[in-house]
Amino acid sequence: MWYILSCWSFFKSSINQIQRLIGNFLWSGKRGDSARPKVAWDTIILPKSVGGSGIIDLILQRKAMLVKLVIRSLLPGNEVWKHLLINRMEK
């Protein structure tokens, strides 16, 4: 999943839907069922060391991985994916 988030910019609505599925599973234990949240999402995504569940915030993770990809594209090197990206952006 992290590779996909690092390469493609998903719509925020798609990531919200994934996070909703995660939340529904946490509260109901089943895939399709939903239940009323017992803890705020902001608390769930906190690290375990500060009282959260340690679940990664997908929106923040997506942004971080895209920034990492941009930085890697600016570094010297002759990787094929850089050429593909540049060719696609030029069209």
Amino acid at 23: G
Give the residue among 18, 13, 17 at the shortest CA–CA distance from 2.
18
- Give me the sign of the Cα torsion angle 53, 19, 6, 64: negative
**What's the pLDDT tens digit per position in 22-43?**
888 887 766 656 667 778 888 8
CA dist., res. 25 & res. 28, Å (int): 5
**What's the pLDDT tens digit per position in 37-90?**
778 888 888 999 999 888 888 888 888 877 887 788 788 888 887 777 777 777
Question: Are 19 and 40 contacting, i.e. CB atoms less than 8 angstroms apart?
Answer: no
